[in-house]
A and B are shown apart, each in its own frame.
Chain A
Amino acid sequence: MSTVARTKLDKELQKAVQTVQGLHKEVQKGIAAHSQLEAQLNENKIVLDELALLTDESRVFKLVGPILVRQDLFEARDIVTKRLDYISGEMKRHEKAIKEAEDKQEVSRKQIGEIQAQYQSIAKK
């Protein structure tokens, strides 16, 4: 009887551990993506600061493939501002996903704790 209960617990434990590991990877991936976005956000902020310093007669170029294309200053500012919005949005999305994965991880961890407690109660019998 106790061996049956034990194999059942073994399976449950294995499943829970796998879930935690999977979630851990998800969190790691989320954090990596988030920090990359943060770097991009900073770079775009710097660019916007630079663009803000320019006057109307300044000439702005955008690198498209191997060539530099002349670009309107206001258009450039617009593009960078939109990019900043997009990146901040993406960052928030990742933050949410990370938080969710962490919460799920916590639930699975508790499960593991419960399973371990059950092991002990079986062992005492």
Chain B
Amino acid sequence: MAQVAGPIDIYSLQIPQLEQLRSALEEEIQILSNSLQQLKKFQIKFVESKECLQKFRPENKGKPLLVPLTSSMYVPGVLSNPDKVIVEVGTGFYIEKSISDAETFFDRRVAYVTEQMQKLQPTLQEKYQNKEAIVGVMQQKVQQYLASQSKEGAPKQ
């Protein structure tokens, strides 16, 4: 929100201002890496879903399988229709798709998520570098300050 138009020289800033910038950047980095993690999670989910589809082959029709009711409870079942699956497309909509359609659907999803991740990565890196630069300048300033303090303090003793 507090975007300043044009580049500013961070050397010209005071320590409290630098600290403010640093914490703002830190927050942004936090948000960005959270999003990135979430995207990664979805990417894995889509890839796994696609892998599951490989079991849906005609020769597996009528074969027994265990259906998870919860992650720790299963009931026996039979694969009655290996030709079609129902996939969620978001906001509560589900679409019945053939296996090959479902595969391309997941491919599309993975491509989308990967694209979003690639968009985020450079921004995250940039913010990170900015933060590092600010921390560096802050350290220099603190050291300068301490040096000037000890010079002033010395003659008094």
Contact yes or no, A63 B95, CB < 8 A? no
Count of chain B residues with a beta carbon within 8 Å of a chain A beta carbon = 14
Give complex CA distance A31, B88 in Å: 29
Query: Chain A residues with Cβ under 8 A from B91's Cβ?
Result: 40, 43-44, 47, 80, 83
Residues of B participating in the A interface, judged by any CB pair closer than 8 Å: 1, 86, 88-97, 105, 112
Interface 9-mer from A2-10, A15-23, A52-60, A112-120: A52-60
Shortest distance from the beta carbon of A26 to any chain B beta carbon, whole Å: 13
Which applies to chain B's interface (DSSP): helix, strand, loop or mixed?
strand
Choose among A44, A62, A83 the residue that contacts B94 (Cβ–Cβ < 8 A): A62
Query: Chain A residues with Cβ under 8 A from B112's Cβ?
Result: 46
Residues of A participating in the B interface, judged by any CB pair closer than 8 Å: 27, 31, 40, 43-44, 46-47, 50-51, 54, 58-64, 68, 71, 76, 80, 83
Query: Chain B residues with Cβ under 8 A from A51's Cβ?
Result: 89, 93, 95
Choose among B1, B90, B94 the residue that contacts A68 (Cβ–Cβ < 8 A): B94
A selection of 11 A-B contacts at a CB cut-off of 8 Å is A43-B91, A44-B90, A47-B90, A50-B95, A50-B105, A51-B95, A54-B95, A58-B96, A58-B97, A60-B94, A64-B92
Give complex CA distance A71, B105 in Å: 20
Shortest distance from the beta carbon of A45 to any chain B beta carbon, whole Å: 9
Choose among B1, B93, B96 the residue that contacts A62 (Cβ–Cβ < 8 A): B93
Give complex CA distance A90, B88 in Å: 26
Contact yes or no, B94 A63, CB < 8 A? yes
In the complex, the chain B residue whose C-beta lies closest to that of A50 is B89
Residues A47 and B93 in contact in the complex (CB < 8 Å), given A61-B86, A68-B86: yes
